[in-house]
Amino acid sequence: MPLLSRLLSDEPAVPDTRKRCFDPVVDADTRLLILGSLPGEKSLAHSQYYAHPQNKFWMLLGEVLGVDLKSLPYEARLATLLAHGVGLWDVVAQAHRSGSLDSNIRNRDDNDLPGLLARFPAIRAIAFNGGTAAKLGIKVLGGQAPHYRIVELPSSSPAHTKPYLEKLAQWHVLRQALA
């Protein structure tokens, strides 16, 4: 119902229950941008990227960078990523989603990835954390995708049940993207 109609009716306003991503973590020295789909429930509750204790993101990326990211406080993790030329963001800006599964994302609005990339020209590689992020992100990038090294990673989520060592072997390609 349009806002004016709601204001004129006796129906209560329906709050926007869409889940929203976090601000991008990037700076002028970011060379590799890692994109997820949309933060899960635990991450949203803690206002932190990859906050679910079973999500292997911080372990995987820590092994790639040679830093124990998991043991660091959250703000230090982000600062360490930036110091290594790594940025974070999500493909989906906001959406309706029951639970944390990407398959439940509905009515999404995508982030302005081309706009972000234009503002940070040092970014040369884009890694997608999971299949949904890759599928949606490549569409959002459109004709810009060929201008970047694109890396599709297995999801760090516990819902993606590939064994950790198999995920790690694929995540090691990020070392080349940072070289």
Contacts of 30 by beta carbon, 8 Å cutoff, 6+ apart:
82, 85, 86, 87, 120, 122, 123
Is position 104 annotated as part of the catalytic site? no
Select from 116, 122, 127 the least CA-distant residue to 29: 122
Q: Which stretches of 17-77 are assigned E, i.e. beta strand?
A: 19-20, 32-36
As given in the structure block, the two tokens for residue 117 are 């990339």
As given in the structure block, the two tokens for residue 142 are 């459109």
Pairing of strands 149-153, 105-110: unpaired
What are the residues facing 149 on neighbouring strands? 125
Q: How far apart are CA 161 and CA 146, in angstroms?
A: 30
The residue from 55, 104, 107, 129 that is catalytic is: 55
**Which are the catalytic amino acids?**
55
